[in-house]
């Protein structure tokens, strides 16, 4: 398994604990890499997780592969670029599985358009971490190479701008701390769902937690 976007190692540790295979994870922030390696050592998983420091451009040529699965958990604006790079180096097994996080908040519209139009993809509705908001994850079985250039509808370009705008505002601490910040995200999520819906893109499955299943 290859993960892009380690943060502090939570998902890498969860995957390595659950799967009988090596997890390789890529993170370009040196401080996060230090924290991750400490967390991995404390979890006694140093032989199961390999942490690479750098971005995809610098790390990909050094990877061996082939990978059965890829978890995209870094900045969504790089998802499509990095997946194309991954395929160009033949790092994935034939029909590799690609799982992408944050497809609704803050979204990666061009990536979502590509995988829902030309690959076998499930769009899964999931609760956003620590917020009463909906997010989406995609699970894709790659069936072909993604072209370097592809035409996308104007609606996707509009959603890209909407995503970039709110991410720019969210990076401002003054905006994040204001009382209406959660309302801004709530409205954003609804706008994205409406925009994707106009393009016939919507959630095809819903995540059900163990607690929810037990309550039924």
Which residue has better confidence, 184 or 149?
184
List, for residues 65-104, the tens digit of each pLDDT value. 899 999 999 999 999 999 999 999 999 998 899 999 999 9
CA contacts within 13 A on the Cβ side of 143? 10
List, for residues 1-48, the tens digit of each pLDDT value. 999 999 999 999 999 999 889 999 999 999 999 999 999 999 999 999
Torsion sign over Cα 180, 181, 185, 191: positive
* pLDDT at position 118: 76
List, for residues 35-48, the tens digit of each pLDDT value. 999 999 999 999 99
Residue burial 170-190, b: 16+ Cβ < 10 Å; e: rest: eeeeeeeeeeeeeeebbebbe
Phi, psi of 65, deg, nearest 5: 65, -170
Beginning with the edge strand found earlier in the chain, give each strand of the sheet holding 67-72 in spatial order.
Answer: 49-53, 23-27, 2-4, 67-72, 92-100, 134-141, 120-127, 205-206
pTM comes to: 0.90
Q: How far apart are CA 44 and CA 198, in angstroms?
A: 48
The rounded mean pLDDT for the chain is 89
């Amino acid at each position: 398994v290859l993960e892009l976007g380690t943060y502090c190692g939570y998902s890498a540790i969860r995957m390595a604990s659950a799967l009988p295979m090596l997890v390789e994870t890529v993170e370009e922030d040196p401080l996060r890499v230090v924290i991750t390696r400490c967390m991995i050592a404390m979890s006694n998983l140093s032989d199961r997780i390999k942490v690479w420091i750098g971005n995809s451009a610098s790390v990909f040529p050094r990877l061996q592969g082939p990978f059965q699965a890829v978890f995209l958990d870094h900045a969504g604006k790089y998802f499509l670029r990095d997946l194309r790079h991954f395929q160009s180096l033949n790092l994935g097994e034939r029909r590799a599985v690609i799982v992408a996080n944050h497809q609704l908040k803050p979204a990666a519209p061009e990536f979502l358009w590509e995988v829902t139009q030309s690959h076998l993809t499930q769009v899964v509705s999931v609760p956003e971490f620590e917020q009463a908001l909906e997010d989406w994850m995609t699970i894709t079985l790659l069936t072909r190479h993604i072209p370097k250039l592809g035409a996308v509808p104007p609606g996707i370009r509009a959603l890209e701008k909407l995503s970039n705008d709110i991410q720019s505002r969210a990076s401002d601490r003054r905006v994040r701390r204001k009382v209406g910040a959660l309302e801004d995200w709530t409205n954003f999520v609804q706008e994205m769902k409406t925009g994707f819906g106009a393009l016939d893109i919507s959630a095809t499955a819903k995540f059900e937690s163990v607690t929810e299943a037990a309550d039924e």
